[in-house]
Amino acid sequence: MDRNTITGMLLMCAVIFGFMWLNRPSEAELAEQQRIQDSIAAVQAEQQVNNNAPTAMLSPDDVAQLHAVLAERASDSTGRVINDGKVNLTLQADRIAGTVRVGDQEINYDDLLSASADPAHVQAVNLVKQAVEDFAKNGAFAQSLKGTEQLITLRNDSLEIELSTKGGVISRAKLLAYKGVNEPQVQLFTPEDNQYSFTLSNNTQRFETKDFYFTPKQLNDSTVEMTITLDGGSQWGLRYTLVPQSYMVRVEMIQQAMNRIIPLNINSVDFTWHQKMARHEDGKMFEERNSAIYYKLSGKSGDVDYTKENGIDSKDLKDRLKWFAAKNQFFSAVLISDQPLVGAHIESKSFDKNDADYQKYLKDLNIRTTMSYSSDKAQPISFYFFLGPNRYPLLSGYDKYSPGEDLKLTRLIPLGWKLFRWINTGIIIPVFTWLGKFFTSYGIIILILTILIKLVLSPLTFKSYMSQAKMRVLSPEIAEINEKYPGQDNAMKRQQKTMELYNLAGANPMGGCLPMLLQMPILIAMFTFFPSCIELRGQAFLWANDLSAPDKIVQWPGQIPFITNYFGNHISLFCLLMTVTNILYTYLTMQSQQQQNAMPGMKWMMYLMPLMFLVFFNNYASGLSYYYFISLLITIAQTYLCRAFVNEDKVRAQIAANRKKPKKKTGFMARLEEAQRQQQAMLREQEKRKGKAKR
């Protein structure tokens, strides 16, 4: 490229740039151009939205379904009507008319037959479709699907219940005489953790009463009716009556002209009850262990059974039932039916430790049962709800609510097997209740009760000590027999001579153990009584804030492997005192008994037992440990009294006198000698066989 060409190109560029500089747009012109571009973009966006906006309309299938639903409605002066507060449509002379309210706007039904993208139009179409679905599913009950929840409170001196118009149920129950862990009263259940419902049905539909809104009517201070008004004058509801000065709530199903909706061939309704059982005590382990679903079979001889305490347990019950209960350690919610319940499915599930509800709840309970029903009766179903404490005198007085049948509600209180339960119900509880009339401190009541028990058992204690005294007097002669017949080869002879000595002296080697064995049922009965005694709940004594719970003097946050499940993460002072006293008593007992023939290691085993009791009793009610502590102290005192008043020289003289008397072998001694004789004969026979084998 030569010099002239380059010069020409530079001149042309200069001319072009100069022209562009001279003709550049002003700021006003640039702003106008931007406005025009924004307007074009907005128009394009609006067109895009309109092109993609959903349109809605009632299709021919929707209209046909709506027509069918309206045709099934009961007719009034205006025709057959659907009105749920927003959708108000009428079928008259095969023509549907009406409006749909969307906010403040009312849209005519005929407009919904054409497609439109207007948001209010789309919402109106969806409301009609939802109404058709609700009325097709719930029939005459559909108009009760929408409403505003109202709460009505009934209260007496013991119980306060809250009734909700949503579902027509008892949504909350407060026990006014019992304090909660972190609240003024125990709330047996709340709306968040307790729901129950009836399932009504006809030949094509099922109606869950928990979905409906009821109309309340308070008849007086103790009675409220929850009702639903249906088509054609039909009515269904529940009447609740809080029994004065009681923990009982009477529930009656009330209805009118329900045979127009539910045919007479339907003879039952289902009842479902779901409860996440809330905690009411400070310690979870023991409370959870005593929580389950309890139930009683119908009939005078009907027994009481329950689900297991841990894990998951479900049962399909085929028998007729009188009642079932969501039973806690100290409180229960029980449904007691007037007519037998027709079988049930029950399920109890413990919460996993990783579950968010683990600390708040004990069990997840589900109960499903069937009740006999007739749509032409004014009151086809009636039952009681017991919502109260597991207090023996209270529960035993409720049999009057079921004439001719023992409700056995006292079985909600675990008092041990038959013998131990008989001791508790026939002796311990009546005495405990009687003492409660004179003393307000339950620590004093336990002390007096313990003294009374020890006084009653004192003859057995004295007899046990006398037997031990005889054994101590005979110990030198027993030692001589052991020296005279040493070794395993003379074991049979040594035992025979020892039993002859006992027989001549009038001593019984079992004399010290037998009285103790006779006292064991009472000790075991008390073991089952104290953890179940609601009277001790919240009662303070000395350093124990609650005699129904462990008296924790030291506590730590960690867990001790293999021990925490029994011992807990604390130390209970009464349990510690009981252990120390038990070790002292063991020492005194071993000093007063003949130990020459004791098995090797038995001494340490005797001392190990109190330490094992410390592990297992540390998490139990402090009232129980306090009772055992006092009982052991009294037993030690009785031991020293016996030593002071029993003269061993007189015991020796009595033994000498017994030796001079002709002795008739007791049945026990005769059987023992016969067993020894047979054993000796068998040993001789074995020796003969061995001798023949060697030959």
CATH of the domain at 265: 2.70.98.90
| Domain match, 271 and 323 both | yes
220 contacts: CB under 8 Å, gap ≥ 6: none
Q: Which of 54-68, 123-137, 150-164, 492-506 has the highest mean pLDDT?
A: 150-164
Tens of pLDDT, residues 427-482: 899 999 999 889 889 999 999 999 998 888 777 777 766 666 666 666 666 666 66
Tens of pLDDT, residues 214-243: 999 999 989 999 999 887 778 999 999 999
Helix (H) or strand (E) holding 235, with range, is strand 235-242
- pLDDT for residue 636: 84
Mean pLDDT of 188-210: 89
Alpha helices in 536-647 (DSSP H): 564-567, 573-592, 602-617, 622-645
> What does the CA dihedral 530, 536, 538, 540 come to, rounded to 10 degrees?
-100
| Domain match, 126 and 155 both | no
| Domain match, 166 and 290 both | yes
Distance of alpha carbon 633 from alpha carbon 585, whole angstroms: 8
- pLDDT for residue 545: 87
| Domain match, 611 and 687 both | no
Which has more confidence, 196 or 614?
196
| Domain match, 651 and 684 both | no
Is 160 domain-assigned? yes
Distance of alpha carbon 277 from alpha carbon 289, whole angstroms: 13
Residue burial 509-546, b: 16+ Cβ < 10 Å; e: rest: eebbeebeeebeebebbbbbbbbbbbbbbbbebeebeb
Distance of alpha carbon 111 from alpha carbon 367, whole angstroms: 49
| Domain match, 81 and 168 both | no
Mean pLDDT of 517-523: 78
| Domain match, 140 and 279 both | no
Percent over 70 (pLDDT), the chain: 72
Q: Is the pLDDT of residue 667 over 60?
A: no
Tell me 601's DSSP state. T
- pLDDT for residue 650: 58
Q: Which of 258-262, 349-353, 434-438 has the highest mean pLDDT?
A: 434-438
Is 277 domain-assigned? yes
| Domain match, 555 and 691 both | no
Distance of alpha carbon 377 from alpha carbon 367, whole angstroms: 26
Number of domains observed in the structure of the chain: 4
- pLDDT for residue 48: 47
Is 377 domain-assigned? yes
Q: Is the pLDDT of residue 290 over 80?
A: yes
- pLDDT for residue 521: 84
Tens of pLDDT, residues 593-604: 544 444 555 566
CB 347 within 8 Å of CB 313: yes
Which has more confidence, 53 or 496?
496
- pLDDT for residue 595: 46
CB 534 within 8 Å of CB 551: no
Q: Is the pLDDT of residue 666 over 80?
A: no
Distance of alpha carbon 125 from alpha carbon 119, whole angstroms: 10
Ramachandran region, residue 300 (left: φ > 0; alpha: ψ -120 to 50; beta: rest): alpha
Q: Is the pLDDT of residue 388 over 90?
A: yes
- pLDDT for residue 131: 77
Under the banding of pLDDT at 50, 70 and 90, the label for residue 577 is very high
Q: Look at residues 129, 144, 159 and tell me which one is the last residue of a structural domain.
A: 144
- pLDDT for residue 596: 44
Mean pLDDT of 187-205: 90
DSSP string over 320-377:
EEEEEEEE-SSEEEEEEEEEEEEEEEEEEEEPPTTSTTTTTEEEEEEEEEEEE--TT-
Bridging pattern class, strands 223-229 and 215-218: antiparallel
112 to 50, 66, 82, 180, 593: CA distances (angstroms):
19, 13, 16, 57, 101
Q: Which of 6-20, 87-101, 343-357, 634-648 has the highest mean pLDDT?
A: 343-357
- pLDDT for residue 182: 74
Mean pLDDT of 319-341: 93
Mean residue pLDDT of the chain comes to 79
Distance of alpha carbon 432 from alpha carbon 358, whole angstroms: 36
Distance of alpha carbon 409 from alpha carbon 413, whole angstroms: 8
The amino acid at 110: D
Tell me 412's DSSP state. G
Which has more confidence, 269 or 46?
269
Mean pLDDT of 331-354: 91
- pLDDT for residue 49: 44
| Domain match, 258 and 341 both | yes
Instruction: Write phi, then psi, for 157 (nearest 5 degrees).
Output: -70, -20
Task: List the structure tokens of 534.
Answer: 């609601």
The position carrying tokens 């009965």 is 525
Distance of alpha carbon 355 from alpha carbon 97, whole angstroms: 53
| Domain match, 518 and 641 both | yes
Q: Look at residues 144, 176, 210 and tell me which one is the last residue of a structural domain.
A: 144
- pLDDT for residue 253: 95
Is 398 domain-assigned? yes
Is 315 domain-assigned? yes
29 contacts: CB under 8 Å, gap ≥ 6: none
Mean pLDDT of 631-649: 74
- pLDDT for residue 281: 85
3-state secondary structure of 647: coil
| Domain match, 542 and 405 both | no
| Domain match, 175 and 308 both | yes
Which has the minimum average pLDDT: 307-311, 319-323, 541-545, 644-648? Answer: 644-648
Mean pLDDT of 159-183: 91
Tens of pLDDT, residues 92-107: 777 888 888 888 888 8
Is 29 domain-assigned? no
Is 422 domain-assigned? no
Instruction: Provide the domain limits for residue 674.
Output: 669-695
- pLDDT for residue 85: 76
Distance of alpha carbon 536 from alpha carbon 440, whole angstroms: 11
Mean pLDDT of 664-673: 56
CB 276 within 8 Å of CB 188: no
367 contacts: CB under 8 Å, gap ≥ 6: 272, 273, 274, 293, 324, 326, 344, 345, 346, 347
Which has more confidence, 630 or 606?
630
- Cα atoms in the 13 Å half-sphere on the side-chain side of 6: 3
Under the banding of pLDDT at 50, 70 and 90, the label for residue 63 is confident
Q: Is the pLDDT of residue 357 over 90?
A: no
Is 1 domain-assigned? no
